[in-house]
Structure formats: structure tokens, C-alpha cells
Amino acid sequence: MYRRALLAASALLPAAAQAQNAGGFTPQNPECIAGAAPGGGFDISCRLTARMLNETGIVGPSIRTQNMPGGIGAVAINHINAQRRTDPNVIVAVSTGSWVNMATGRFGRFGENDVRWIGAIGADYGVIAVKKDSPYATLTDLVTALRANPGGVPMGAGGAVGSQDWTKAALVARAAGVDPRRMRYVPFEGGGQALAALLGGHIQMAPVDASEARGQFEAGEIRLLAVLAAERLPGTLSSVPTAKEQGFDAEWPIVRGFYGPPQMPDAAYNFWVNALRRLTAHPDWPDQRAAQGLFEFNLVGAEYEALAKRRTAEFRQLARDVGLVSQ
């Protein structure tokens, strides 16, 4: 009798509550770390994912976002490995740029084997942004200026030389026959700061992410000269031509996702993997993801781990080939 009553009561529990207790783990004071200043891609990943996990009931406790600027994720990964190696309640936003930083040693001694890869929630693409009143009306205009004087176009974005954002600009420069090492590049703590510098006239071009630039583009404050994708993006960015259709072979897709601490318990890891799997399958997710300028890219658990490690190895070889790291 008691067992039947217990089963009946459990059937009335929300599915999310039952899922949280599966495997014996329920997060306590969960946190998402965005390893850069507010306004950038990491910040978008954390705030969007945390809000939707809570609103859908997939995760019951409120997930707070903590911005942890420094080295575009370097401070965050050092913090996790030094102080929270077993913490089951924290996830950290990560992107393709993080794999570049791991490959080039910008995260110190920490690399792709020093975290637990949880999953991806979407993809973004690089864009080339200038102010609305810039003398560069097209990508060809910008390339012409770079060819004439590579150091005469001050540009900047998140991370230093060799970072993901620098690589976006370098791809355009290389496609135009310009040595990327001659570019005049200013590092910032994320795309939000770079766009602020662009609007303030401190730089003339920002190779940032589509999701970071979307708001300023819709407001008419910036002009996007190109999107670094294989084809034009849907929605509000559909008017922006690709670099390839303008004669420059440059593409930069950006995978956005999360990792956990290196010794996160299996029960917690499985919980967060399942949470992202359920989130990306939720009927409300596509619209919410698209509203932040992200595109579909769903991969979790072992498959996501394999992708992260493979791409990091590829970037490490590329960095050796161009002389950014020693052989």
C-alpha cells in the first residue's frame, strides 16, 4: 500500500525534478562561468543557457552567471583547475577560440585533457565589422587598404595575436595576399569591449562574432563587411555577403558549448550532459537560440569531447605551421 502511494506521488512530480534526482545528483547553487567581460560570446552562452535551463524546468535551482575576465578563458580554466577540480555545480562557457588558445599555450599548462567536455548548444560565425560611417563600404575596400598599408588599419577583438579573433582577420589578410603578422591588432577582453572601442573610434575594424555584433548591426551603429561562413546566414544578417562571394576564401565557424572541472563526478557530468541534450531538443530552444544570433549545432558527451580534442590538435598543428608556437 505504502509502495503504491509512493509510486503515485512520484508520478505527479515534474519530469525535471525526477531527472535531477536520476543518478543521485541534484545541483546546489549552480553556476556558469563566462571567461570574459559581459557582452561577448561566453556571456551570451552562459546567460541564454542558464535562463532556458531554468525556464524549462530542466534545472530547478537558479543558475547564476559569473563573468571571469582574463586571457579570454585563461583565468577561468586556471581557477577551475586550481580551486574547483571536483566541483559538480559549475560549468564553464567555451568556444572554438578556447581550442585555439589551448593549442597555442595561452591557457598555461592546461589543455584539452584538463576539463570534462559537456556539450555544444549552438554555432556562431565570424564577421568583419566597421563603424556605420567607415570609409570601408565593402570587404574589397578594406582589403585594398590592408594591401597598401597592413599596419594602417587599426583593428581589435577578444584575445591577443594568435587568438580566435585575430585568426579571423588573419584569414582575410592571407586570402588577400597580406602577411597577417604585419596587421595592427589591439587585444580586448572579449567582443563586447572590442565593439565599444570600434564605436568609440579607437579601432577601425573588429573581427568579432555574429552573435556579438548582431545588436549593434540591427541598431544601425555598425556595418558588417562580411560573414565568414560558407553561405549567407538567415534572418537579420541575410543581407551581409560572405567573404567567399566577394572573392576571398575565408571561413570561421564557432562552436559554443561548455566544459566542467577535470574531476567532476560522473553523476554530475551525466546530469549536465543530459540537461544540454534535453535543452537542445526542447521545442522552445530553436527560437531562443536564434534570438541570440546562434545557429543549430547540437553535440554532447563523448562525441563533443572527441570534436574538442580533434579540433585542438588541428589548431596546434596549424600554429606550428605559421610559427606561432615552436615545433
User: Which class for 141: exposed (0-12), middle (13-18), buried (19 or more C-beta within 10 A)?
Assistant: middle
| From 18-27, 36-45, 248-257, 295-304, the region with the lowest mean pLDDT | 18-27
37 within 8 A of 70, measured Cβ to Cβ: no
State the pTM of this model.
0.76
What would the pLDDT profile of 202-245 be if each residue is shown by its tens digit? 999 999 999 889 999 999 999 999 999 989 998 889 999 999 99
* CA neighbours closer than 13 Å in the CB half-sphere of residue 246: 25
Residue 210 is which amino acid? A
* pLDDT score of 14 more than 80: no
The DSSP bridge partners found for residue 241 are none
Task: Give me the pLDDT at residue 4, please.
Answer: 35
Number of C-beta neighbours around residue 16 at 10 A: 17
What CATH topology corresponds to 30-124+254-321? D-Maltodextrin-Binding Protein; domain 2 (3.40.190)
**216, 222 in Cβ contact below 8 A?**
yes
Whether 273 has a pLDDT exceeding 70, the answer reads: yes
Spatial separation of the C-alpha atoms in residues 268 and 305, rounded to whole Å:
16
Residue 20: enclosing H or E segment and its boundaries? helix 15-21
| Helix or strand run (H / E) with residue 139 | helix 139-148
SS percent in the chain: helix, strand, coil, step 5: 45, 20, 35
Query: What is the C-alpha separation between 307 and 98, in angstroms, rounded?
Result: 13
Q: Write the DSSP symbol of residue 241.
A: P
Q: Decide: 129 and 198 in contact? Cβ < 8 Å.
A: yes
**Domain residues of the chain, as ranges?**
30-124+254-321, 125-253
- Residues 218 and 160: their CA atoms lie apart, in Å, by 28
* pLDDT tens readout for residues 248-269: 988 898 999 999 999 999 999 9
Q: At 247, list the grid cell.
A: 572573392
- Single-letter code of the amino acid located at 25: F
Quick one: what percent of the chain has pLDDT higher than 90? 70
Question: Quick check: 21 pLDDT over 90?
Answer: no
Per-residue confidence (pLDDT) for residue 280, from 0 to 100 = 97
CATH of 125-253, one of 3.40.50.300, 3.80.30.20, 3.40.190.10, 1.10.3720.10: 3.40.190.10
Between 5-9, 129-133, 283-287, the lowest mean confidence (pLDDT) is in 5-9
Average pLDDT, the chain: 89
Give the per-residue pLDDT at 327.
59
- pLDDT above 60 for 170: yes
Could you check whether 30-124+254-321 and 125-253 share the same CATH topology?
yes
Instruction: Quote the CA–CA distance of 298 and 276 in Å, as a whole number.
Output: 9
Q: b vs e for 96-122, b when ≥16 Cβ sit within 10 Å of the residue's Cβ?
A: bbbbbbbbbbbbeebbbebbbbbbbbb
Q: What is the pLDDT of residues 66-125, one digit of tens each?
A: 999 998 899 999 999 999 999 999 999 999 989 999 999 999 999 999 999 999 999 999
Location of C-alpha cell 555584433: 213
Give the pLDDT confidence score for residue 201 in this predicted structure.
96
The letter for the amino acid at 14 is P
Q: What is the pLDDT of residue 197?
A: 96
